[in-house]
């Protein structure tokens, strides 16, 4: 599904290299997790994959289903099936959540040559999916993320994911700022989307989230590289011993 | 038009039209004042950011007619429609001048009468608004205008009055003057839309008596080359309400002045506007609010979206007189620049002589929020559409000042149409 080879990325504005040769393959239908200490480049990887400005790819490639995505605009990547659940979902005053969702869904359908959803069809689907995430009508009406609590913002991210039905979902620290109950709710939302045709890349500091979203593969990232790859037991090792042991081992 | 501006930048020679006693007196007073003040010039403090040359030139600069099959704004609103073509009232295209709770007359008819209530409003509110800042284009209008309506609301109007200003001649030069009076407890909505002419000088005087409510929604759009100068003069009685909103799209030059005076306690005034300009576009909102009564509230909310060298100007003043305690004055002006070639100038002014007031003002200028733009595009919304959504959201905060939801929706779709045309 997602194949990243030797990816080198620096900041556009300053001479600073952040990713220093990332190699990563996420197979179709699998859940991969990336863990790593602060500053290891995890969030940068998610931003570069989704097309945020300010980064310069100096070497390497990233392909989604065999198609190079690094030259695409963010909206083209989204239409190709990539989705990033933001660590810090953005507040957009003046744009209604429902309008935003419908515009996004229909823009992607249009880009893929599919028929746009009518207002009634859309409403039916969104209400159903919102209900399972405990998102009420008021949250759908309000401006995007404005006045939402931390938990509501993350649930709103998952709702967008559920509506857009991407093939490749990247979750950037979706557990940050969530209490246990909110994390469970979000994890349930993600698990409901697990499917043989859909892949996930879950970025997190903590093993906790991975109790709820069980990964197939766990990677440890440090200093802009994947330094170790293993099964779910690797996450437990981090939980018990911290990153220091692993980093010392691979150094 | 019977009179022409003869000299640029100095005192024009004016022939005051014949009329009844009251109108002639008002016109002559305005003409006399104009001969003292002269026409506005770039050196004048309130014309520093807007060049009045084409507004004061003897002839209007020709303006191409904008052709569109789109319905006019407020087309779906059930209203008494009054049509002007190139600044001249066209009875044939207009509805009958009949509205329950409202008396409607042409200025020309009213001016022929020896005694008329309009004598206490026409040129009077405009005259009060000449101090401390002179407004020569309004003096000129009062002195020469023969077009416009004299409207008195005696109760709650059954429906709005909608002025539609059509533009058919490339060289038309319109001077329109409306005189409006709301009796105690009356309620009236006035809508205006259309380019009117190659050049238009419009004045609206509104006397709002105690407990009366006046609503004004204006859409200035269509013709790209039009040049517009408007003045609204309003005087507010006790517990009255005045709300005016203007949406402007396109137009080479627009100067909208609003001069509001609180004379009765516990009254409210909102003057708001949103404009979207692309290229040859200069838009100036100049507001002067005088609080001369206790516990009144005024709001100024202006938003401008500018690109390709468009210029936006805001000059807003709140004057609180010594006895106007408990005044609540609010003012916000914001410019959204879609590129580096555009300019937004803001001059907020507060002059406060009372000691127990709450006045606040803010002014910002900035670009589209990149983080918000990335968020929208990362969900698959194309860049231009995402930019439009954010632009509309920005202007929407001003449109929210329009109470009537149907009218607000009309304004939003007008803006969406403008954006869609820009991309095509």
Mean pLDDT of B37-54: 93
Q: Which residues of A touch B379 (CB under 8 A)?
A: 75, 78, 100, 104, 107-108, 160, 164
In a domain, B226, yes or no: yes
User: Does the structure show a pLDDT above 60 at A113?
Assistant: yes
Query: Distance, in angstroms, between A232 CA and closest chain B CA?
Result: 30
Edge-first strand order for the sheet with B358-366 is: B88-89, B80-85, B161-166, B187-193, B213-220, B241-249, B268-278, B297-307, B328-337, B358-366
CA–CA dist A85, A107 (Å, integer): 18
The residues, ordered by sequence, that sit 6+ positions from B145 with a Cβ below 8 Å of its Cβ are B107, B175, B176, B177, B203
Q: Which residues of B touch A99 (CB under 8 A)?
A: 389
User: Does the structure show a pLDDT above 60 at A100?
Assistant: yes
Q: Which residues of A touch B412 (CB under 8 A)?
A: none
Q: What is the pLDDT of residue B419?
A: 83
Q: What is the pLDDT of residue B6?
A: 42
* Higher local confidence (pLDDT), B197 or B222: B197
- Tally the domains of chain B: 1
* Helix/strand/coil for A86: coil
The residues, ordered by sequence, that sit 6+ positions from A70 with a Cβ below 8 Å of its Cβ are A48, A57, A61, A62
Q: Which of A53, A95, A108 sits opposite B380 (nearest CB)?
A: A108
Evaluate the CA torsion angle B149, B152, B153, B158 in order and state its sign.
negative
User: Does the structure show a pLDDT above 90 at B392?
Assistant: yes
Mean pLDDT of A106-118: 90
**Residues paired with residue B87 on neighbouring β-strands, in sequence order:** none
Q: What is the pLDDT of residue B8?
A: 41
Pick among A43, A81, A94 to test the B interface (most B CBs inside 10 A): A94
User: Does the structure show a pLDDT above 80 at B423?
Assistant: no
CB B389 within 8 A of CB A95: yes
Whether residue A103 and residue B389 make contact (CB cut-off 8 A), yes or no, is yes
Chain-centroid distance, C-alpha A162? 12
User: Does the structure show a pLDDT above 70 at B424?
Assistant: no
In a domain, B75, yes or no: yes
Tokens standing for residue A174: 């979706």
**Residues paired with residue A39 on neighbouring β-strands, in sequence order:** none
CB B346 within 8 A of CB B335: yes
Q: What is the pLDDT of residue B87?
A: 96
Residue of A nearest to B370 (CA): A53
The percent of residues above 70 in pLDDT, for chain A, comes to: 100
Residue matched to tokens 């101090």? B131
pLDDT, tens only, B111-164: 999 889 999 999 999 999 999 999 999 999 999 999 999 999 999 999 999 999
CA–CA dist B40, B269 (Å, integer): 27
Q: Which residues of B touch A160 (CB under 8 A)?
A: 379
CB A186 within 8 A of CB A162: no
Whether residue A95 and residue B389 make contact (CB cut-off 8 A), yes or no, is yes
CB B67 within 8 A of CB B43: no
Structure ipTM: 0.95
DSSP for A121-169?
HHHHHHHHHHHHTT--HHHHHSEETTT--HHHHHHHHHHHHHHH--SEE
In a domain, B66, yes or no: yes
Q: What is the pLDDT of residue B88?
A: 97
In a domain, B60, yes or no: yes
CA–CA dist B300, B398 (Å, integer): 9
Edge-first strand order for the sheet with A67-68 is: A17-26, A2-11, A55-64, A67-68
Q: What is the pLDDT of residue B2?
A: 38
Element (H, E) at B417: helix B405-423
CA–CA dist B32, B23 (Å, integer): 14
Taking the Cβ of residue A81 and every Cβ of chain B, the question of whether any pair is shorter than 8 Å is answered with: no
pLDDT, tens only, B265-280: 999 999 999 999 999 9
CB A50 within 8 A of CB B378: yes
DSSP for B79-121?
-EEEEEETTEE-GGGSPPS-BTTEEEEEHHHHHTSSS-GGGGT
Whether residue B378 and residue A51 make contact (CB cut-off 8 A), yes or no, is yes
B73-105 core/surface letters (b: 16 or more CB in 10 A; e: else) = bbeebebbbbbbbbbebeeeebeebebebbebb
pLDDT, tens only, B77-92: 999 999 999 999 999 9
In a domain, B175, yes or no: yes
Domain that holds residue B286: 21-368
Interhelix angle B405-423/B383-399, rounded to 10 degrees, is: 150
Residues in chain A: 251
Q: What is the pLDDT of residue A186?
A: 87
Chain-centroid distance, C-alpha A150? 16
- Residue B357: CB atoms within 10 Å: 17
Residue of B nearest to A105 (CA): B380
User: Does the structure show a pLDDT above 70 at B286?
Assistant: yes
Residue of A nearest to B380 (CA): A75
Whether residue A103 and residue B382 make contact (CB cut-off 8 A), yes or no, is no
CA–CA dist B227, A217 (Å, integer): 67
* Helix/strand/coil for B63: coil
CA–CA dist B381, B255 (Å, integer): 36
Pick among B366, B367, B379 to test the A interface (most A CBs inside 10 A): B379
Residue of B nearest to A48 (CA): B378
- Residue B71: CB atoms within 10 Å: 11
Locate the DSSP E strands across B308-352: 311-320, 328-337, 343-352
Query: Distance, in angstroms, between A91 CA and closest chain B CA?
Result: 7
Q: Which residues of B touch A111 (CB under 8 A)?
A: 380, 382
pLDDT, tens only, A8-30: 999 988 888 999 999 999 999 99
In a domain, B352, yes or no: yes
User: Does the structure show a pLDDT above 70 at B322?
Assistant: yes
Whether residue B385 and residue A52 make contact (CB cut-off 8 A), yes or no, is no
Whether residue A75 and residue B390 make contact (CB cut-off 8 A), yes or no, is no
Residue matched to tokens 């209900």? A131
pLDDT, tens only, A161-209: 999 999 999 999 988 888 888 888 889 888 999 989 999 999 998 888 8
User: Does the structure show a pLDDT above 60 at B382?
Assistant: yes
Q: What is the pLDDT of residue B1?
A: 37
Helices and strands, counts by H and E, chain B: 8, 19
Q: What is the pLDDT of residue B5?
A: 45
pLDDT, tens only, B4-42: 444 444 566 778 887 778 999 999 999 999 999 999 998
- Residue B370: CB atoms within 10 Å: 11
Q: What confidence category does residue A251 fall into, taking pLDDT thresholds of 50, 70 and 90? A: low
Whether residue A107 and residue B381 make contact (CB cut-off 8 A), yes or no, is yes
CB B188 within 8 A of CB B26: no
Q: Which of B370, B380, B382 sits opposite A53 (nearest CB)?
A: B370
Number of A/B CB contacts below 8 angstroms equals 78
Whether residue A108 and residue B396 make contact (CB cut-off 8 A), yes or no, is no
* Helix/strand/coil for B366: strand
Chain-centroid distance, C-alpha B366? 25
Q: Which residues of B touch A164 (CB under 8 A)?
A: 379-380
Q: What is the pLDDT of residue A84?
A: 96
Q: Which residues of B touch A108 (CB under 8 A)?
A: 379-380
Residues in chain B: 424
Mean pLDDT of chain B: 93
The backbone region for B413, taken as left when phi is positive above 0, alpha when psi lies in -120 to 50, beta otherwise, is alpha
Q: What is the pLDDT of residue A55?
A: 94
User: Does the structure show a pLDDT above 70 at B247?
Assistant: yes
* Helix/strand/coil for B231: strand
In a domain, B382, yes or no: no
User: Does the structure show a pLDDT above 90 at A106?
Assistant: yes
Taking the Cβ of residue A100 and every Cβ of chain B, the question of whether any pair is shorter than 8 Å is answered with: yes
Domain borders along chain A are 2-250
Q: What confidence category does residue B69 fall into, taking pLDDT thresholds of 50, 70 and 90? A: confident
Burial class (CB in 10 A: 0-12, 13-18, 19+), A240: exposed
Look up the CATH architecture of domain A2-250: 3-Layer(aba) Sandwich (3.40)
* Higher local confidence (pLDDT), B310 or B2: B310
Rg (CA), chain A: 18
The residues, ordered by sequence, that sit 6+ positions from A15 with a Cβ below 8 Å of its Cβ are none
Residue matched to tokens 């060298």? B309
Query: Distance, in angstroms, between A106 CA and closest chain B CA?
Result: 9
């Amino acid at each position: 599904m997602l194949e990243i080879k030797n990816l080198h990325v620096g900041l556009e504005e300053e001479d600073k290299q952040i990713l220093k040769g990332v190699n990563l393959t996420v197979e179709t239908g699998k859940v991969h997790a990336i863990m790593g200490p602060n500053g290891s480049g995890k969030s940068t990887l998610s931003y570069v994959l989704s097309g945020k400005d300010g980064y310069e790819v100096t070497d390497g490639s990233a392909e989604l289903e065999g198609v190079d995505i690094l030259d695409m605009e963010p909206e083209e990547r989204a239409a190709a099936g990539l989705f990033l659940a933001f660590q810090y979902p953005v507040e957009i005053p003046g744009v209604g959540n429902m309008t935003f969702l419908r515009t996004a869904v229909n823009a992607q359908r249009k880009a893929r040559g599919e028929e746009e959803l009518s207002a009634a069809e859309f409403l039916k689907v969104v209400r159903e999916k919102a209900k399972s995430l405990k998102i009420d009508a008021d949250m759908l009406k309000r401006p995007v993320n404005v006045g939402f609590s931390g938990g509501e913002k993350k649930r709103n991210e998952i709702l967008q994911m559920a509506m857009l039905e991407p093939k490749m979902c990247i979750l950037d620290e979706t557990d940050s700022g969530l209490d246990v109950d909110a994390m469970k709710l979000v994890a349930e939302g993600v698990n409901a989307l697990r499917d043989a045709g859909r892949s996930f890349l879950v970025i997190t500091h903590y093993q906790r989230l991975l109790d709820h979203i069980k990964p197939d593969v766990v990677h440890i990232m440090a200093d802009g590289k994947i330094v170790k790859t293993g099964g779910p037991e690797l996450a437990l090792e981090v939980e018990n011993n911290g990153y220091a042991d692993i980093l010392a081992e691979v150094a | 038009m019977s009179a022409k501006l003869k000299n640029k930048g100095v005192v024009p020679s004016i022939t005051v039209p014949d009329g009844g006693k009251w109108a002639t007196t008002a016109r002559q007073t305005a003409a006399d004042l104009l001969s003292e003040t002269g026409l506005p010039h770039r050196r004048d403090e309130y014309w520093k950011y807007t060049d009045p040359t084409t507004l004061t030139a003897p002839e209007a600069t020709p303006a191409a007619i904008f052709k569109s099959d789109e319905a006019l704004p407020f087309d779906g609103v059930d209203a008494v429609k009054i049509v002007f073509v190139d600044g001249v009232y066209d009875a044939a295209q207009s509805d009958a001048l009949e509205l329950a709770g409202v008396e409607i007359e042409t200025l020309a008819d009213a001016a022929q009468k020896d005694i008329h209530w309009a004598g206490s409003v026409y040129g009077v509110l405009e005259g009060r608004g000449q101090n401390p800042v002179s407004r020569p284009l309004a003096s000129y209008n009062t002195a020469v205008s023969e077009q416009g309506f004299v409207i008195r609301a005696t109760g709650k109007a059954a429906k709005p009055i909608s002025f539609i200003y059509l533009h058919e001649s490339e060289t038309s030069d319109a001077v329109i003057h409306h005189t409006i009076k709301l009796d105690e407890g009356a309620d009236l909505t006035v809508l205006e839309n259309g380019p009117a002419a190659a050049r238009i000088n419009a004045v609206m005087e509104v006397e709002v008596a105690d407990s009366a409510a006046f609503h004004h929604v204006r859409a200035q759009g269509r013709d790209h080359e039009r040049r517009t100068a408007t003045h609204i003069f309003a005087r507010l009685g006790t517990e009255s309400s005045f709300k005016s909103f203007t949406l402007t799209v396109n137009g080479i030059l627009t100067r909208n002045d609003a001069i509001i005076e609180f004379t009765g306690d516990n009254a409210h005034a909102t003057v708001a506007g949103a404009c979207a300009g692309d290229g040859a576009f200069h838009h100036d909102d100049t507001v002067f609010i005088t609080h001369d009564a206790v516990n009144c509230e005024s709001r100024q909310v202006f938003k401008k979206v500018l690109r390709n060298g468009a210029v936006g100007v805001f000059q807003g003043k709140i004057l609180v007189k010594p006895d106007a305690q408990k005044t609540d004055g609010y003012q916000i002006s914001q410019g959204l620049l879609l590129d580096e070639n555009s300019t937004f100038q803001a001059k907020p002014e507060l002059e406060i002589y009372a000691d127990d007031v709450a006045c606040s003002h803010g002014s910002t200028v900035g670009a589209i929020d990149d983080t918000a733009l990335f968020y929208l595009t990362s969900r698959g919304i194309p860049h231009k559409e995402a930019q439009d959504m954010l632009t509309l959201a920005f202007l929407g905060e001003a449109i929210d000042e329009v109470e009537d939801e149907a009218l607000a929706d009309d304004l939003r779709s007008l803006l969406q149409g403008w954006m869609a045309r820009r991309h095509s």
